Structure 1
Amino acid sequence: MTYNNEDFFPKATSETELLIDKNTIEWFYKIFDPIPVSMILVDKDTNILMINNEFCKFLEVSKDEAIGKKVIEINPNSRFPIVMRTKKAEIAWKHTFANGHTAIVHRIPILNNENEVLYGFGMVLFDNMEEFHNIIVKNKLLQTEIKHYKQVLKKIQGAYYSWDNIIGNSEKMAQAKEFGKKTSKTGSTVLITGESGTGKELFAHAIHNASRRSHQPFVKVNCGAIPHDLLESELFGYEEGAFTGAKKGGKIGKFKFAEGGSIFLDEIGDMPIKMQVKLLRVLQEKEIEPIGATNPIKIDVRIIAATNKNLMYLVEKGDFREDLYYRLNVMTIEVPPLRERIEDIDTLTKSLLVKLSNKLGVYVDSISKEAIDILKGYSWPGNVRELENVLERAMNLGEEGKILPIHLPSYITKKDFNAKRNTACRQLSEIIEEMEREIIIKYLKDTKGNKLKTAKLLGISRSCLYDKMERYNLSV
């Protein structure tokens, strides 16, 4: 059908080069008429330039009745006059037409470079509200299912935690997290050091989940919890008949399970020397050899190791291989102890209360300032793990949803009392320890890690230096 209303299709002027002529309208119909979506085009005065077949059926009008008329003559409820006046698009609006149909529509003003309205384009996104409702319901169900399966997948893969689960904004924790995030972007071996209970495993999870291996397995192995004579078969597996008692079909080791992903070797300092040799081969050659196998197997696994021991001290004692230490010590992250980030106790406590409330079903949502002050005055040798245990105990004893000093264990409250009574002594001890630690660090840097030279400069024996390094969790 061709429309020849010359008054309706004005000629192009110097004011605008985008004016639509009748040939363009004919092309619009060729494009939009076959599409089963209602569409309309109006000029700056809201006169209808084009309306496709689908919209005509929806409005129950013919094209002859609609073309050239103002849109409000066809649909008195139209908001196009408002859209053209405000120059603001209305996206996914619920609109009830004059014929009683309710739909979800788009109304979009088309502007020139001078921000002047040239045309208005409209489209009915959903002409059936029940269909629209069903799509929303299905989408919500789909999102719920996706979330559920993502959680299941993470459980299968083994890594549950992300950087959001590591609580703390203190300077030392922020530095550790920032370095960890940079580390996660590489494929290098990672060594996480820190005292027991500081959250080294959380860092390992977060590094894996932020890496390109995040959708691959994350396998955890506690090197200190597995008997030494079983550790090799646990890590590398064995072939059928490899030894007496070997199960039929053999066994796949942890490294093979972690193919394409990451393996977390916790308590790496407890690994026996015999296994350290085999681990070194894995790092150097990227291959494993199951017990009883005739040929090695190539693997693609990232190693993340963790320890609460001073590995360099173990190297000097002969309990840890020096070449393995340097292979592991590529990207080292030191997780600070809780006593060095006391300012994080407030946020840590709030987070742990939420976690423990969900676990225990005992809902405690607050802690008194006096109790917080006591927690901040304690040295926390057990770190965050100890804090969690203290809070769990307090929650079981607390009343009316609030933790008070009386709910804290006596060894913490007595320490706080003694500290208040003898603050000068406690502070002097802390100052001396801090200064000693800083001096040792400085001398180690000056001697480029040479323990013998450092011990001579400090006027102490080398074994004494090692004891102090282990005490202050120093590694070079």
Structure 2
Amino acid sequence: MKRNESPLLDAYFVQNMHRIFDPIPVPIILVNKETEIMVINEDFAEYLGHTRDELIGKKVNLIDPNTRFPYVFKSKRPEIAYKHKFSNGHTALVHRIPVLDDDGEVLYGFGMVIFDDLKNLQEVLERNKLLEGKLSIYQEELKNIRGAKYSWDTIIGNSLVMQRVKVMASKSAKTDSNVLIMGESGTGKELFAHAIHNDSKRFDGPFVKINCAAIPKDLLESELFGYEEGAFTGAKKQGKIGKFELANGGTIFLDEIGDMPLDMQVKILRVLQEREIERIGSNKTIPVDCRIIAATNRNLLERIRENEFREDLYYRLNVINIEVPPLRERKEDIELLSLKLMEKLSNSLGHYVSNITVEALECLKAYNWPGNIRELENIIERAINMVDNETIELFHLPQYILVKNQNIYTEIPKIQNLKEAVEEVEKTTISNCLIAVQHNKLKAAKLLGISRTSLYEKIEKYKLL
């Protein structure tokens, strides 16, 4: 057998690779682009409960139905330290790495089990105390809690209206002025707040967010401003620091500010004017240096007319106004959004779906999207769960979208009353006949096979004079 034939059939190649892999005391596997097992060391074969001869040449999914090698080959991205449960019940941390050629096509897949028992990992961490690694983890967790996660790249959309909004938002990032982001629920207002912070000079400071509508009125003040020890019954012994103090040196994002109670609006106005706060139970003022970004899906001018929102606070917040358009006003972005959502959700769901038919896409574009991008994400996730292959088709979409867009997938003929249909044909026939005989009614009656009296009656009935 020639050396340049398939490695799966090349005994010399397999033998030498096993000589390399067998002494390595961790499970290792090499599969070809068809996910057939080419090389597997004794450690891995034993771990899977088979002999090596039983495994060589078989597709890896026949041995382990939970394998993600097919997904890694399609995404062409490695999975490092990925938690995986094997079909034999073992749970381990594994690497899966696609090996690509010069054209970016998959040649092989390399796999390795790092820890074949997650308890071993915990023992290693405890034994070596890995203080530096733990500190890094804690810092990352703190960043997730107090930092902004999204950037301009996260905000998907090439439509003209979105380009204009992005330009306005990016300009606002260069200043320290207050920003008011307006838009319907589900349009991505929070993403803009994150991106503005990350692109500002405060990017390395905290990004603290609070939903003004989600916190009960009697708890909102303590959340925003904190409290001293013994300030009220049930207060923590050591007191509590508020969101404004946490955001010092960074940005505070007040989401759903249109639902903030009036008495709290007064206190927010004071913070904006004086740049200082007072904890509950204290008469000591604390200076705060934080930028305010607020967002709402309410019409604040209407709220002002209804005496539900303070006009002076509105003008303090509305220094830079950013209006995020609803999805129905930028339907040209739906295709790009759908593809990005498919990529994101496929990765989290472990079900790779990369295509959508023209018919399904047109149906999505015809829909009005009251729930905006949040609703689109929900629809895409549902469709991914329904798909058996890699393509979202029309019948994978929910019925309520199909019903609202029936003309997209079926042409329903107009149903006409039978009597009306007969009269319409009769009227057209008589009219055409009269034109043909130059309105000679005697000739017309003969051609139509009716009496002249009947013809006169029908001419009057259909107003053909």
In structure 1, what is the Cα distance between the partners aligned to 2:153 and 2:195? 9
What per-residue deviation string (whole Å, max 9, x for no partner) do you get for residues 440-463 of structure 1? xxxxxxxxxxxxxxxxxxxxxxxx
Matches within 5 A, 1:43-442: 154-417=143-406
1:153 Cα offset (Å): 6.2
SS in structure 2 of the partner of residue 306 of structure 1: strand
In structure 2, what is the Cα distance between the partners aligned to 1:368 and 1:354? 16
What per-residue deviation string (whole Å, max 9, x for no partner) do you get for residues 293-316 of structure 1? 112111001110000000010000
In structure 1, what is the Cα distance between the partners aligned to 2:259 and 2:187? 18
The code of the aligned residue for 1:359 comes to S
1:254 Cα offset (Å): 0.6
The code of the aligned residue for 1:325 comes to Y
The code of the aligned residue for 1:185 comes to K
1:357 Cα offset (Å): 0.7
Using a 3 Å threshold, how does the CA distance of structure 1 residues 151 and 291 change in structure 2: closer, same or farther?
A: closer
Using a 3 Å threshold, how does the CA distance of structure 1 residues 225 and 153 change in structure 2: closer, same or farther?
A: closer
What per-residue deviation string (whole Å, max 9, x for no partner) do you get for residues 44-90 of structure 1? xxxxxxxxxxxxxxxxxxxxxxxxxxxxxxxxxxxxxxxxxxxxxxx
SS in structure 2 of the partner of residue 309 of structure 1: coil
The code of the aligned residue for 1:333 comes to I
In structure 1, what is the Cα distance between the partners aligned to 2:262 and 2:138? 41
In structure 2, what is the Cα distance between the partners aligned to 1:162 and 1:191? 18
What per-residue deviation string (whole Å, max 9, x for no partner) do you get for residues 136-170 of structure 1? xxxxxxxx99x989965642432100000000010
In structure 2, what is the Cα distance between the partners aligned to 1:165 and 1:151? 20
1:242 Cα offset (Å): 1.1
In structure 1, what is the Cα distance between the partners aligned to 2:252 and 2:312? 20
SS in structure 2 of the partner of residue 277 of structure 1: helix
The code of the aligned residue for 1:242 comes to A
1:359 Cα offset (Å): 1.2
What per-residue deviation string (whole Å, max 9, x for no partner) do you get for residues 223-266 of structure 1? 00000000000000001111122110111001111110001100
1:399 Cα offset (Å): 1.5
Identity over aligned residues, as a percent?
63
In structure 1, what is the Cα distance between the partners aligned to 2:149 and 2:317? 24
SS in structure 1 of the partner of residue 270 of structure 2: helix
What per-residue deviation string (whole Å, max 9, x for no partner) do you get for residues 276-334 of structure 1? 00000000000111101112111001110000000010000000001001101100100
Please report the RMSD computed on the Cα atoms of aligned residues, expressed in angstroms.
2.2
In structure 2, what is the Cα distance between the partners aligned to 1:297 and 1:197? 35
In structure 2, what is the Cα distance between the partners aligned to 1:150 and 1:236? 25
In structure 2, what is the Cα distance between the partners aligned to 1:369 and 1:150? 45
Using a 3 Å threshold, how does the CA distance of structure 1 residues 410 and 202 change in structure 2: closer, same or farther?
A: same
Using a 3 Å threshold, how does the CA distance of structure 1 residues 176 and 405 change in structure 2: closer, same or farther?
A: same
The code of the aligned residue for 2:147 comes to G
Dislocated runs of 4+, deviation >6 Å: 147-150, 419-422
The code of the aligned residue for 1:409 comes to P
The code of the aligned residue for 1:266 comes to D
In structure 1, what is the Cα distance between the partners aligned to 2:384 and 2:306? 44
The code of the aligned residue for 1:192 comes to I
In structure 2, what is the Cα distance between the partners aligned to 1:284 and 1:398? 55
What per-residue deviation string (whole Å, max 9, x for no partner) do you get for residues 84-123 of structure 1? xxxxxxxxxxxxxxxxxxxxxxxxxxxxxxxxxxxxxxxx
In structure 1, what is the Cα distance between the partners aligned to 2:243 and 2:139? 23
SS in structure 1 of the partner of residue 405 of structure 2: helix
SS in structure 2 of the partner of residue 192 of structure 1: strand
SS in structure 1 of the partner of residue 231 of structure 2: coil
What per-residue deviation string (whole Å, max 9, x for no partner) do you get for residues 8-52 of structure 1? xxxxxxxxxxxxxxxxxxxxxxxxxxxxxxxxxxxxxxxxxxxxx
SS in structure 1 of the partner of residue 293 of structure 2: strand
The code of the aligned residue for 2:330 comes to R
What per-residue deviation string (whole Å, max 9, x for no partner) do you get for residues 159-184 of structure 1? 10000000001011111111000000
1:401 Cα offset (Å): 1.1
In structure 2, what is the Cα distance between the partners aligned to 1:304 and 1:405? 40
Residue-pair matches, total: 280
In structure 2, what is the Cα distance between the partners aligned to 1:158 and 1:363? 30
Q: TM-score, normalised by structure 2?
A: 0.58
Q: TM-score, normalised by structure 1?
A: 0.57
In structure 2, what is the Cα distance between the partners aligned to 1:221 and 1:299? 17
